C-alpha cells in the first residue's frame, strides 16, 4: 500500500511539474528567499512583504498538504476506477498548490519597481518561461 502511494505521488508529481513548468515562478515558499533578495535587490519594505507572503503561503500550503494526505489515507484505491478518481482529486489539490504559489509570487512581483520587474522578465525569458504579470497598482 505504501509503495503504491509512493508510486502514485511520483507519477502525479511528475505530471504536475510538466504541466505547470512553463510559468516563471519565484517560488517564495521554497528555501531560495536569499536568491530572490539578492537577484532583485529587495528594499526593506519588500523584505517585510516577502516575509509576510512567505508565511501566508506556508499556511495555505499546509492546509492543502493535509488535504492531500487525507486523500491518500482515506480514498479507496482498490479498483482502476477508484485510482482514476483519486488521481483526479490529487491533480485538483496540486493545481490549488500551484495557483497559491503563483498568487503569492504575483503579490511580491507587484511590489517590484520597473527595473526589478524588467530583470524578472529577462530571467524568465532566458529560462524559456512565461513571466507572471504584476497586479495593477
Query: What tens-digit pLDDT sequence spans the chain (137 residues)?
Result: 444 443 334 444 444 444 456 999 998 988 888 999 999 999 999 999 999 999 999 999 999 999 999 999 999 999 999 999 999 999 999 999 999 999 999 999 999 999 999 999 999 999 999 999 888 76
Q: Which residue has the cell 493535509?
A: 66
**All cell numbers assigned to 116:** 526589478
Residue 137: per-residue pLDDT: 62
Measuring CA to CA, which residue among 128, 124, 91, 136 is closest to residue 25?
124
Instruction: Name the pTM for this structure.
Output: 0.79
Q: Which helix (H) or strand (E) holds 111?
A: none
Phi first, then psi: what are they for 131, rounded to 5°?
-70, 150
How far apart are the C-alpha atoms of 50 and 1, rounded to whole Å?
40
How confident is the model at residue 12, as a pLDDT? 41
Residue 136: per-residue pLDDT: 75
Question: What pLDDT was estimated at residue 20?
Answer: 52
Name beta bridge partners: 130: 23
Which pLDDT value is given to residue 14? Answer: 41
Amino acid at each position: 500500500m505504501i509503495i503504491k502511494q509512493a508510486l502514485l505521488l511520483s507519477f502525479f508529481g511528475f505530471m504536475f511539474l510538466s504541466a505547470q513548468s512553463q510559468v516563471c515562478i519565484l517560488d517564495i515558499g521554497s528555501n531560495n528567499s536569499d536568491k530572490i533578495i539578492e537577484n532583485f535587490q529587495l528594499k526593506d519594505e519588500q523584505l517585510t512583504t516577502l516575509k509576510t507572503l512567505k508565511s501566508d503561503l506556508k499556511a495555505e500550503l499546509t492546509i492543502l498538504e493535509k488535504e492531500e494526505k487525507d486523500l491518500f489515507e482515506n480514498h479507496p484505491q482498490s479498483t482502476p476506477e477508484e485510482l482514476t478518481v483519486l488521481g483526479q482529486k490529487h491533480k485538483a489539490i496540486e493545481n490549488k498548490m500551484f495557483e497559491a504559489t503563483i498568487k503569492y509570487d504575483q503579490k511580491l512581483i507587484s511590489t517590484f519597481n520597473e527595473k526589478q520587474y524588467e530583470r524578472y522578465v529577462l530571467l524568465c525569458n532566458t529560462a524559456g518561461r512565461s513571466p507572471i504579470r504584476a497586479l495593477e497598482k
